[in-house]
Amino acid sequence: MGDTLEKSSEKPEIALDNECSTKMGDLVEVSSGEKIKFDDTGLSLVLQNGLENLRLENSLTDVILCVDSREFSCHRVVLAAASNYFRAMFCNDLREKYEEKIILKGVDAETMNILLDYTYTSKMLITKQNVQKVLEAASLFQFLRMVDACASFLTEALQPENCVGILRLADAHALHSLKQQVQNYIIQNFTQVLNYEEFLELPADILCSTLKSDDLYVTEEAQVFETVMNWVRYKESERFPLLPYVLENVRLPLLDPWYFVEMVEADQLIRQCPDVFPLLQEARMYHLSGNEIITERTKPRMHEFQSEVFMIIGGCTKDEKFVAEVTCLDPLRRSRLEVAKLPISEQETENENKKWVEFACITLKNEVYISGGKETKHDVWKYNASINKWIQIEYLNIGRWRHKMAVLGGKVYVIGGFDGMQRINSMEAYDPFHNCWSE
Percent of the chain with pLDDT over 90: 45
Domain ranges (residues) in the chain: 310-438
CA 82 to chain centroid: 35
pLDDT tens column, 73-88: 999 999 999 998 999 9
Q: What phi and psi, each to the nearest 5 degrees, are found at residue 430?
A: -105, 130
Pairing of strands 427-431, 411-415: antiparallel
Provide the residue type at 60 as one letter. L
Domain 310-438 falls under CATH 2.120.10.80: yes
Please give the mean pLDDT across all residues of the chain. 84
**Closest Cα partner for 245 from 217, 282, 201, 207?**
207
pLDDT tens column, 323-379: 888 888 888 778 888 888 888 754 545 555 567 788 999 988 778 999 988 888 889
pLDDT tens column, 375-384: 888 899 998 8
Q: Quick one: pLDDT at residue 200? A: 94
- Put the strands of the sheet holding 101-103 in their side by side order: 70-74, 63-67, 101-103
328: left (phi over 0), alpha (psi -120 to 50) or beta: beta
pLDDT tens column, 227-246: 999 999 999 999 999 999 99
Mean pLDDT across 103-124: 91
